[in-house]
Amino acid sequence: MKLDQLRSFEAVARVGHFTRAAEELYLAQPSLSRQIAALETDLGTELFHRGPSGAALTDAGELLLPLARRMLGDARTAREQMDELAGLHRGRVRLGAPPTLCVSLVADVLAAFRAAHPSVALHVMEAGSRVLMDALSEGALDLALVVTRGEGAAAPGAELIPLLSEELVVVSASASQAAEEITLQELAQIPQVAFNRSYDLRVATDAAFSANGLEPVIAVEGAEMDAVLRFVERGLGVAVVPAMVVIDRPGLRSARLVKPSLTRTVNLARRNDVGPSAAAAAMQQFVFRAVDRLTAPGTDLAQLVTAVPR
């Protein structure tokens, strides 16, 4: 059996017609028919019932179809892997990250990776850390940037590589007269633009207010990341965000949150039961480099974002 024969067989089985399958594969119909006939001769059985209205699978064809699709899929995977080893001329990387990282760290990582490897397809999944870990364990992601709090965070079936520790800050409109530091008690009295409750960030801030017996004043509730930042720029209230979010946003000013300060750890998550593809391994290095740039001494975020030794 040859891959071209299997490819023609799968196309006829899927569309139910020799002519349409030939058009899809950019083949002349006689060429496609010869491939199917040669495959039937090799297997010693007919694969299709041929009629005026099209082609229907025989019992043998029904048995071969899932095997053929699996073989074609394995061939595509093998080709992708070989192409990646030859210099990342093809392939893909599926990266997951929470919204707070998609508007900061991830944007820088993807821009640098795309410039270096323009032929590698990039797929991004934006979701909360728990959803991302589920997707990683199911094989739907190659890598994920996830947020944890506290020491010794674990993820069954995955390896967590701590990257950086980041303070949460209070952002307000750039024209406001906010202080350089705001205590949690002071923050509770200022109208806030609150994230959707599905956000890890919202869960963390709600827990901090509750632990200190505080009830925050909510001006707008339930917004997503882009909307929260826009609402704050328009003066609807303040918001608690990670320090990196403020980068390149002249419409916002930030104040450190103190008494207590709130921090989070950003981790790179990868499965520990399979090795990364060449493209995923390259993406991992770009993540490390971006973190090193952000946390280098003398940067704007040096006091708020600290690298975790790897």
CATH at residue 145: 3.40.190.10
- Are residues 148 and 282 both part of a single domain? yes
**CB proximity list for 247: less than 8 A, separation 6 or greater:** 104, 300, 301
| pLDDT at residue 210 in the model | 95
- Are residues 177 and 64 both part of a single domain? no
- Are residues 282 and 147 both part of a single domain? yes
What CATH number has the domain bearing residue 36?
1.10.10.10
| pLDDT at residue 151 in the model | 62
Position 305 confidence tier, pLDDT thresholds 50, 70, 90: confident
Task: Show which of 60, 85, 110 is a domain's final residue.
Answer: 85
**CA dihedral of residues 289, 291, 294, 295 (deg, nearest 10):** -110
What string of H, E and C letters represents the secondary structure of the chain?
Answer: CCHHHHHHHHHHHHHCCHHHHHHHCCCCHHHHHHHHHHHHHHHCCCCEEEECCEEEECHHHHHHHHHHHHHHHHHHHHHHHHHHHCCCCCCEEEEEECHHHHCCHHHHHHHHHHHHCCCCEEEEEECCHHHHHHHHHCCCCCEEEEEECCCCCCCCCEEEEEEEEEEEEEEEECCCCCCCEEEHHHHCCCCEEEECCCCHHHHHHHHHHHHCCCCCCEEEEEECHHHHHHHHHCCCCEEEEEHHHHCCCCCEEEEEEECCCCEEEEEEEEECCCCCCHHHHHHHHHHHHHHHHHCCCCCCCCCCEEECCC
78-87: average pLDDT = 68
- Are residues 249 and 178 both part of a single domain? yes
**CB proximity list for 26: less than 8 A, separation 6 or greater:** none
- Are residues 14 and 74 both part of a single domain? yes
- Are residues 258 and 290 both part of a single domain? no
What does the mean pLDDT of the chain come to? 89
Using a pLDDT cut of 90, give the percent of the chain over it.
60
pLDDT (tens digit, 9 = 90+) per residue, 261-289?
999 999 999 988 888 888 899 999 999 99
Closest by alpha carbon to 31, among 71, 62, 4? 4
Domain tally for the chain? 3
Look up residue 213 and give its two tokens: 């017996």
For residue 142, is pLDDT > 70? yes
Task: Show which of 263, 280, 297 is a domain's final residue.
Answer: 263
> Residue 98 sits in which domain range?
92-163+265-307
The backbone torsions φ and ψ at residue 192, rounded to the nearest 5 degrees and listed phi first, read: -120, 150
For residue 205, is pLDDT > 90? yes
- Are residues 104 and 75 both part of a single domain? no
For residue 153, is pLDDT > 70? no
For residue 190, is pLDDT > 80? yes
Write down the pTM of the prediction.
0.68
Number of other CB atoms surrounding residue 91 within 10 Å: 20
Position 179 confidence tier, pLDDT thresholds 50, 70, 90: confident
- Are residues 169 and 155 both part of a single domain? no
pLDDT (tens digit, 9 = 90+) per residue, 221-275?
988 888 999 999 999 999 999 998 888 888 999 999 999 999 999 999 998 888 8
Higher-pLDDT residue of 26, 13:
13
- Are residues 234 and 279 both part of a single domain? no
pLDDT (tens digit, 9 = 90+) per residue, 46-67?
999 999 889 999 999 999 999 9
pLDDT (tens digit, 9 = 90+) per residue, 88-100?
777 789 999 998 8
| pLDDT at residue 7 in the model | 94
82-91: average pLDDT = 68
- Are residues 175 and 259 both part of a single domain? yes
For residue 154, is pLDDT > 70? no
For residue 148, is pLDDT > 80? yes
- Are residues 7 and 62 both part of a single domain? yes
What CATH number has the domain bearing residue 188?
3.40.190.290
- Are residues 174 and 258 both part of a single domain? yes
| pLDDT at residue 87 in the model | 65
Position 185 confidence tier, pLDDT thresholds 50, 70, 90: very high
